Structure 1
Amino acid sequence: MALRIGDTAPDFKIETTQGEISLHDWAGDSWVFFFSHPADFTPVCTTEMGRTSQLADEFAKRNVKPLGLSTDTVEEHNKWILDVNDTQKTNLQFPIVADPDLKIAKLYEMIHPSESDTQAVRSVYIIDPNKKIRLMITYPMSVGRNFDEILRVIDALQTSDANKIATPADWTPGDKVIIPPSISNEDAKGMFPQGWDELRPYLRLTKV
């Protein structure tokens, strides 16, 4: 069955570079940035792993735990981490799932046969503390992820949850947000005492 936004992220128990983990237990009360890459010792993947490591403080600030995956073994991952640290000038500390039998890659629909039958595409799952899938992005093997966008959508999701708002196109923290049409003006007065700009009855912008 296809995974969809709002589904509970399938739990699994698997070996990683930091020992065996159970996804739900490991995640605890944190958000999870779960992402796959095609293979160890490949160029695009090396830059992505390095960038995730370089952004460790940014993820931690948002209560987000990164979790990588490829269809390589723990032994291969551990050797590769040395290369990642050396070439990307970092110190990679998050776990990387070893999935040589494709069990988790298939569970999370990371195998796209038009790209490869044995390697994962660049999938992104943002999972919230309730273990719900909140966002999915899939990149082809040849295109590296935009980590500014990954942090931006995490900010947007967390801001939306905290304030019961929606975010407009290209929103970044500090920009105005949207009061959803499902919230009446009467209710909005209590929720948003700072007021709002009403461009249309359905388009109300405010600051949070």
Structure 2
Amino acid sequence: MTRTNTLITRRGLLGAFAASAVVAAPTYSHAFGFLRGAGDVRRIRMYSGRTGESMDTIYWIEGEYIPEALKEINHFMRDWRTNDITRIDPRAVDIMAASHRLMDVSEPYMLLSGYRSPKTNAMLRSQSSGVARNSLHLRGQAADLRLKSRSVGQMAKAAEACASGGVGRYSRSDFVHMDCGPVRHWGR
């Protein structure tokens, strides 16, 4: 069986058993174990108020990322202003998924910002001192997210529990920045 057929077979099986696999997946009390490979399924759910698009995909099964799902994530998290697409670092997606799971919510994330092209980042920097010149958004390693059912503090605590990247609290703007860069946190 070729690799392509293996992935298609897994995707086909996933279509038949997705609901039971997600329900049967164990609950984790600590995201670090989840990020180290404990569990068989990783899922990410998001929508974009900017594009009107939504995404609900299982992107990792039994220790392997699903290339088709990662391509879907890359497209969904594109720079909506320029339509530029880059490879989103799967580690950033893992942090978002682990944080979501820790919060035990069914609501999808609202994606405010994923990948940013250099043009978009420069424009945003000209309007705000809070935008980094070398933002991890430029490398596809960060996302700004919101949940209606959870506070900025709750979201940030879940992301910080992953101990796997940067977490920024932006309470005035009601979102949390999550990235797969060095472990650090900021904001209130």
TM-score (structure 1 length as normaliser): 0.27
Which structure shows the higher helix fraction?
Answer: 2
Which structure has the higher relative contact order (CA within 8 Å, separation 6+)? 1
